[in-house]
Structure 1
Amino acid sequence: MEHFVILLAGRMEPTPALRAAIEGGRVIAADDGIRHAAGLGLAPELWVGDFDSAPQQPPIALAGIRRETFPRDKDKTDGEIAIEAAIALGATRLTLVGALGGPRSDHAFAHFILALRYFHQGLDIALEDGAESALPLSATPRRVDLEPGTQFSVLKFSNVRGLTIEGAKWPLDNVDLPFSSILTQSNEAAGPITVSVAEGDAILLAQCDPSVR
């Protein structure tokens, strides 16, 4: 499995858990995501984007990085370009770093949509920033090792059928929910949880254990 780490411009806390999640991955930076490279001790092999928000030059330690420049007026985001570059290089697993928080909520929303798109194309994909983790869901039960008391939500992007949550304070068993329902907001893990969705688009969003930040 070829693992690529995509550095995006949102929030990032260089926690031990985040470092473990990206260990061994090849790295591509999207525009201002380059600023996370030094904090994580990474040397991207490629830096892409329109560079409207990134420094004109990367830190001196990254001065030799290969750059691919795109016009500002384009029909793809810099993150989307970085993901597609990784796929062209053989990626089958993606970790999007800095995808969840930041100054623009529309960027975080776009990253959820991209995660679902590429997950449905068969890629193993996760969104991480050291404060939160997110994973697309499917009919295959997904076990996530959470500490007791960890807060999590299931974010829906369509109507869902057959939502099952095990190992939580408020479990669900094969429940159908409309897109407009917020029943799956702010659940609490009793320990490791297992989540699946028979039909529909949904993402598990979990808070990271603050004791290991």
Structure 2
Amino acid sequence: MFDRLILLLPGTIDYTKFKNFFQKNDYIIAVDGGIEHSSLLNIEPHLWVGDFDSCQENSQTIFAHIPTEVFPTDKDLLDTEIALNKAVSLNISDCVMIGGTGGRLDHQLSLFMILLNHPDLQIFHTDGLTELYSLNHKIQRILEAKSFKHVSIIPITTLENVSISNVKWPLHNVILKPGKGFSISNEPTERFIHYSQEQGLGWIVMTH
């Protein structure tokens, strides 16, 4: 029985932020070139998926002992979508995506919208610097501000009865609609930020 699905995605990450991060009951999937993170993170994935178009030439030799699922380059899904589907088959509701920031904008936007296909999956997405927390339906979150300077709420669908406190511009039971900048670049004022909403899909984004 696994508690979290961990996806290692291609892209630059800050390895120092993941000390003591991984747990015994994590199910770890390397997504294509994300396999290269596993050595520096001192972890071994349970599975390696993708079309292997973004990994280094010698990776398939170095990591030949990792079970793989190989998919064609010409397909209708992102490699990350294929990996996320494992959460359903493993009955996991919590997912951590590590990496996957920067790079191609089209891939970034696709990852950002992935909640529409996984509306019940609680996702934490980080490269060790920026942190994204999924907002799913009726939810309450307490987030540690750490050294972050900005906290933004980004709706994918309309967010209803949104409240956020311990920030410079608190909100109380407001409606946030996609495409507006009203909830961008707030600032933490306390160690812990309190957030709640009644309905909708979106993200909280914490940046320096």
TM-score by length of 2: 0.87
Cα deviations by residue, 1:129-170 (Å, 9 ceiling, x for unpaired): 101111112422211111376311111213332221111111
Paired AA for residue 151 in structure 2? F
**Within 1, Cα distance between the matches of 2:62 and 2:197?**
44
Alignment-derived partner of residue 178 in structure 2: 179
Instruction: Describe the SS at the equivalent of 2:92.
Output: coil
Residue 108, structure 1, aligned to residue 137, structure 2: no
How far off is 1:83 after superposition? 1.5
Paired AA for residue 11 in structure 1? T
Paired AA for residue 114 in structure 1? I
Paired AA for residue 4 in structure 2? H
**Within 2, Cα distance between the matches of 1:85 and 1:146?**
31
**Within 2, Cα distance between the matches of 1:166 and 1:205?**
15
TM-score by length of 1: 0.85
**Within 2, Cα distance between the matches of 1:23 and 1:150?**
29
Cα deviations by residue, 1:164-199 (Å, 9 ceiling, x for unpaired): 111111101111233231011111111211112323
**Within 1, Cα distance between the matches of 2:47 and 2:148?**
39
Change (3 A) 1:77 1:50: same
Mark the runs of 5 or more structure 1 residues left unpaired by the alignment. 209-213
RMSD of the TM alignment (CA)?
2.2
Paired AA for residue 175 in structure 1? V
Report if the CA contact (8 A) 2:148-2:207 is conserved: no
Paired AA for residue 33 in structure 2? D
Change (3 A) 1:116 1:15: farther
**Within 1, Cα distance between the matches of 2:142 and 2:20?**
18
Report if the CA contact (8 A) 2:154-2:178 is conserved: no
Paired AA for residue 42 in structure 1? I
Alignment-derived partner of residue 134 in structure 2: 136
Report if the CA contact (8 A) 1:11-1:129 is conserved: yes
Mark the runs of 5 or more structure 2 residues left unpaired by the alignment. none
**Within 1, Cα distance between the matches of 2:73 and 2:61?**
25
Alignment-derived partner of residue 79 in structure 1: 80
Percent of paired sites with the same residue: 30
Alignment-derived partner of residue 211 in structure 1: none
**Within 2, Cα distance between the matches of 1:14 and 1:194?**
28
Task: Count how many residue pairs are aligned between Structure 1 and Structure 2.
Answer: 204
How far off is 1:29 after superposition? 0.6
Paired AA for residue 40 in structure 1? L
**Within 2, Cα distance between the matches of 1:183 and 1:128?**
24
For 1:7-18, list aligned pairs within 5 A. Answer: 7-16=8-17, 18=18
**Within 2, Cα distance between the matches of 1:33 and 1:140?**
30
